[in-house]
Chains A and B, each alone.
Chain A
Amino acid sequence: MSGGRTRLLLALAALVVLAGCGSKRVAPAPPAPPKPTLVVLLPDPESRITGRAIVSNEFGSTELAAPRASSLATATAAPGAVTTMSEEEVARIFGAALAALPPAPRHFTLQFKFESDALTDASVAMIPAILAAVRAIQVPEVAVVGHTDTMGEAKANLALGLKRAMTVRNILVQAGLAPSTVDVSSHGEADLAVKTRDRTAEPRNRRVEITVR
C-alpha cells in the first residue's frame, strides 16, 4: 500500500543522503611550504666591522658582504638578489631583538713573571678593571683559562695551564670575586696566542685569559 511505499522511499532517500555524506571526505591538507627567510648582514655591534655570510638553498646561493646587505630566500628559488636595507627598516624589524642582545664579552690577558707564579706588574694593574667589568653584568660568568707555550709535553702543559688558571682564580676571589661566578679550565698548548713550532719558548703564550660574560 502507499504507507509501505512511502516508508521504502523514505528509507531510500535516507540511504542516498547518507551515501552523499560518506563521499564528502576531506582530503588531507598538503604540507605547508617552508616559510621564506629574510637574512640581513649587520656590522658587529661593538667593533662595527662587517663580516660575510653566504645564504644558500638547493637552487643556488647569494653572498652578503656589505653593511645591511640582505636577501630573501624562498623555498622554490635561489635566494633573492642582494638589496641594502635602510637603518630605519633594520630598527623596525629587528629593534626588539637588537635591544635584547647581551653586551659583548670582555677579554683580559694576564701574564706571569718569568718562571714564576707571580703576575707581571702590568697584569696586576688589570685586576680592578676586571672586577669592574664583572660588576657591570646582571648575572656574570667569569671564565679563567690557563695556557702554556709548546715547551714540554702536551699532557703536562694541560696541567700547567690549569695550575696557572687556579692561581689567577685565587687572586680574583681574594680581591672580592664570588667563587660561584668563576669557571676554571686549561687549553694547555692547544690554543697559542703566537703561533710557534713545538718545543718553542714563547712568553706571550704563557698566559691566563679571562672572559667576563
Chain B
Amino acid sequence: MSGVHRIGGVLAFVLATVSPVAAQQPEPAGHIKTVSGAAFVLRHNATISARPGDAIFASDILRTSAGGAVGVTLRDDTRISLGADSEVRIDRYVYAPGAGGLGMVLKFVRGVAVYVSGRIAKLAPDSIRLESPAAIIGVRGTTLAIRVEP
C-alpha cells in the first residue's frame, strides 16, 4: 500500500519537471502605452488595473469605466485606444511573418474606440476581422473610429 503511494508521488514529481512546454508563457500581443483614469484588463476572470508597460495577450479584454481611457500598441504596430465606458476584446492575434502566421480578430463590445492598422494589414489585410454588434469591418490600411451605440 505505502509502496504504491510512494511510486505515485515519484511519478508526479517527474511529470512536473519534464513538462516545461505546459509552463511556457504565451508571447504578448502588445503592451499598454497610455492610461487615463479607470482602465482595466480582464484576463482569465481576473480584473487587473491597466498600467503603461503592461503586456497584453490574445483573449484579453480591455475595459474602461466612467472617465477612463487606455491606448495599446500591438507587436505589428497596430494601435487601439478606448474612450470612457468602453470594452474591446482581442479575440485572436498572430504576428509571425517569418513562420507565415498572420491574423487578428478584435471584438468591439461597447463604447468608443479608435483603431489604427499596422503591418498585419499591409501583409495580409484579409486576415483581419473587426467585429461589432451590428457589422463586421474589413480594412485596407485604415484608421477607424467605432462607437457601439448604447
- Contact status A186-B98, CB under 8 Å: yes
Q: Can you report 22 residue pairs joining A to B where beta carbons are below 8 Å apart? A: A34-B133, A35-B148, A36-B134, A38-B146, A38-B147, A38-B149, A40-B144, A40-B146, A44-B141, A52-B141, A56-B136, A57-B134, A75-B133, A93-B112, A94-B147, A100-B34, A101-B114, A105-B118, A138-B34, A139-B31, A187-B97, A188-B98
A49 to B136, CA, bound (A): 23
User: Given A51-B117, A94-B83, list of 12 further CB < 8 A pairs?
Assistant: A35-B133, A37-B134, A41-B142, A45-B116, A52-B139, A54-B138, A56-B138, A96-B69, A98-B145, A100-B114, A102-B34, A213-B73
- Contact status A98-B114, CB under 8 Å: yes
* Residue B72 lies at the interface, judged by CB distance under 8 Å to chain A: yes
Q: Of B70, B141, B147, which contacts A100 at CB under 8 A?
A: B70
Q: When A75-B134, A139-B33 are in contact, do A53 and B140 touch as well, CB less than 8 Å?
A: yes
- Contact status A34-B134, CB under 8 Å: yes
B residues sitting closer than 8 Å to A (CB atoms) are 31, 33-34, 36, 52-53, 69-73, 75, 77, 79, 81-84, 86, 97-98, 100, 108, 112-114, 116-118, 132-150
A141 to B114, CA, bound (A): 22
* Residue A190 lies at the interface, judged by CB distance under 8 Å to chain B: yes
Give min CB distance, A42 to chain B, whole Å: 4
The digit string for A85-114, where 1 denotes a CB below 8 A from any CB of B, is 000001001111111111111000000000
- Contact status B145-A97, CB under 8 Å: yes
* Residue A167 lies at the interface, judged by CB distance under 8 Å to chain B: no
- Contact status B135-A97, CB under 8 Å: no
> Which A residues touch B83, using CB under 8 A?
94-97, 100
- Contact status B149-A37, CB under 8 Å: yes
Nearest B residue to A106 by beta-carbon distance? B77
Task: Specify which of B79, B114, B118, B143 lies most central, judged by the most chain A CB atoms within 10 Å of its CB.
Answer: B143
Q: When A57-B135, A94-B83 are in contact, do A39 and B98 touch as well, CB less than 8 Å?
A: no
> Which B residues touch A188, using CB under 8 A?
98
Give min CB distance, B19 to chain A, whole Å: 26
Nearest A residue to B54 by beta-carbon distance? A139
- Contact status B114-A94, CB under 8 Å: yes
For residues 171 through 186 of chain A, which have their beta carbon under 8 Å from a beta carbon of chain B?
Answer: 185-186
Task: Specify which of A34, A45, A101 lies most central, judged by the most chain B CB atoms within 10 Å of its CB.
Answer: A101
Give min CB distance, B74 to chain A, whole Å: 9
Q: When A51-B117, A94-B112 are in contact, do A138 and B132 touch as well, CB less than 8 Å?
A: no
Q: When A52-B140, A213-B31 are in contact, do A190 and B97 touch as well, CB less than 8 Å?
A: yes
Give min CB distance, A188 to chain B, whole Å: 6
A93 to B114, CA, bound (A): 11
> Which A residues touch B142, using CB under 8 A?
41, 51-53
A39 to B135, CA, bound (A): 9
The digit string for A173-210, where 1 denotes a CB below 8 A from any CB of B, is 00000000000011110110000000000000000000
A50 to B95, CA, bound (A): 24
- Contact status A35-B135, CB under 8 Å: no
> Which A residues touch B149, using CB under 8 A?
35-38, 72
- Contact status B52-A139, CB under 8 Å: yes
Q: When A35-B150, A93-B145 are in contact, do A101 and B139 touch as well, CB less than 8 Å?
A: no
